[in-house]
Amino acid sequence: MKITAPRGTFDILPGDALRWHWLEAAVRRVFGYYGYQEIRTPVFEHTELFQRGIGETTDIVEKEMYTFTDKGERSLTLRPEGTAPVVRSYVEHKLYSKGGITKLFYMGPMFRQERPQAGRFRQFHQFGVELFGTESPLADAEVITVAVELYKELGLTGLEVLLNSIGCPACRGEYQKALLSRLTPLKEELCASCQQRLHKNPMRLLDCKNPRCRELTEDVPPVTDYLCSSCRGHLEQTLSSLDGVGIGYRLEPRLVRGFDYYTRTVFEVINTGLGAQNAVCGGGRYDHLVEECGGPPTPGVGFASGMERLLLTLEQQGKFAGFSSAPQVFLIALDEKLAADGFALATGFRREGIATGSCLEVKSLKAQLRAADKLQAEFVVILGEDEWKDGQVSVRRMADGKQWRVDREEVRQFIKDLLGREL
C-alpha cells in the first residue's frame, strides 16, 4: 500500500519553496525594523504548559492537541501555538532580568487536530511576535501595526483589522456573572461543550461555532459595556495610537478569541476573500500569563499569523505570477569529450554567482535545448567541437533565439553584461 502524508499535512514541494523563502525573508526584514529578535523553541512541550497557559476549557486544549506519553511516561504535546512556549522560555531563561521590554519573534510549524478544510491544516506554520514588559497601549498599537505593515510590504490588499477589549480579571468577572445569569435559563439548548463551560468560563460560549449556540448568544450585551475605567482608557488609547498611524480597524464586540490567557486587547486580521477560514492573524494582550508560568508579574502582548493562509491569499491576488527559480544560464555540451569542459565552465559561472543548469549527460542538441526551455533558462551556452577547438562557444538568448559566438575566456563576462543589461 502506498503511504501518503497524514491527513491535514502537506509537503512543500520545490516549486512552492521559493514563495516560502520570500515570505520568510519579508517577515524577518520587517520584524527587524521594529526590533524583534528571533527565538526558537522545541516543537513539543510538557502538556501542562498548554493546559495551564491556553486554558482547560478552550477548544484547543479540550479537543485539538496532539498529546502523547513518551517512553519515560511523560505527557508531552506538539505545540498548538507559539505564545505559551515563548513565555515558558522567557521565564526559564529569565529574559526579564535585564529589565525594560523584550521583543521576540518566532516562525515554525504548529499542530492542531482540527477538521481539515481549505486554509485549515493539522500541521500549519505561524510566525508571530511577543512583546514583554509594558502595559502601555502603545505596545498593543505597535504589534497591530507590525502585522499590518508587514502585510502591506507583502502587497496584500482586502484585509480588515477586527478589534475588541475583553477587560481585566476584575471587570471581566462582572461580565461573566452577567453572562451566567442570562444564559443559565437557556442551558438545555446549548451544545454539550457550552453546557460544561457555562459555569467554568461563560465567556467561552461567545466563541462557540455551533449555530444554535451562536443564535442563543446573539444578543448578549457586549463585553465593552462592562469595561472598568482603566480598561476603557487602555482601549481608547490603543485606538487613538492606531488612528495616529493611519491603521484602520473595526470594533467587534463579540471577538473573544479561543485562549484564556488574554486580557484587554484582542484582535484579528481577516481577509474577506478567504471563505470560512478567513483569519490570517490573531493576537492580543496577556498580562498574567508570565506570572501563571512561574515568572514575575510581566505584561505581554503579541500576535501570530498563519503562513499557509497568507500564501493562499497572496496567490489569489496574483502576487506570485512573476516568481521563478529559472536558471540564468543553461550549459550544453555536444560531445562526450567536452562534458568535463562543460562542467568546468558551469562551475565557473556558479562561482561568479550566475545560476546555471545543465543536463549532466551528453544528449542531442534538441534534447538539451528542450531541457533548458523546460527550466525557462534565459541563456544557453553551447560547447560544440569545432568552436571549442577555436577557443569559442555559442551563446543563445532563449527568448528570441538571438545567437553570438564568444571567446570562451570571455563568456562569463559576456553573460554578466547581458544579464546586467536585462535588469
H/E stretch holding 164 reads: strand 159-165
Of 166 and 281, which has the nearer Cβ to ligand HAM? Answer: 281
Residues 6+ apart with CB under 8 A from 322: none
Of 295 and 327, which has the nearer Cβ to ligand HAM? Answer: 295
Residues 6+ apart with CB under 8 A from 382: 332, 334, 365, 393, 394, 395, 396
DSSP 262-327: -EEEEEEEEEGGG-SS-EEEEEEE-SSHHHHTTS-S--EEEEEEEHHHHHHHHHHTTTTTT-----
Q: How far is the CB of 165 from ligand HAM (least distance, A)?
A: 15
Q: How far is the CB of 48 from ligand HAM (least distance, A)?
A: 17
Of 90 and 303, which has the nearer Cβ to ligand HAM? Answer: 303
Q: Determine the Cα–Cα distance for residues 284 and 182; give it in Å rounded to an integer.
A: 27
Of 26 and 418, which has the nearer Cβ to ligand HAM? Answer: 26
Q: How far is the CB of 79 from ligand HAM (least distance, A)?
A: 10
For residue 394, count CB atoms less than 10 angstroms from its CB and return exposed for 0-12, middle for 13-18, buried for 19 or more. middle
H/E stretch holding 76 reads: strand 75-78
Of 208 and 334, which has the nearer Cβ to ligand HAM? Answer: 208
Report the residue number whose CB is nearest to ligand HAM. 306
Phi-psi region of 376 (alpha: psi -120 to 50; beta: other; left: phi over 0): left
How distant is the alpha carbon of residue 197 from its chain centre? 31
Q: How far is the CB of 372 from ligand HAM (least distance, A)?
A: 38
Q: How far is the CB of 90 from ligand HAM (least distance, A)?
A: 12
Grid coordinates standing for 305?
Answer: 499569523
Q: How far is the CB of 243 from ligand HAM (least distance, A)?
A: 22
Of 83 and 102, which has the nearer Cβ to ligand HAM? Answer: 83
Residues that bind ligand HAM in the complex, under the rule CB under 6 A? 81-83, 112, 114, 120-121, 124, 126, 128, 130, 279-284, 302-306, 308-309
Q: Determine the Cα–Cα distance for residues 5 and 216; give it in Å rounded to an integer.
A: 40
Which residues face 60 on adjacent strands?
none
Of 166 and 406, which has the nearer Cβ to ligand HAM? Answer: 166
Q: How far is the CB of 331 from ligand HAM (least distance, A)?
A: 42
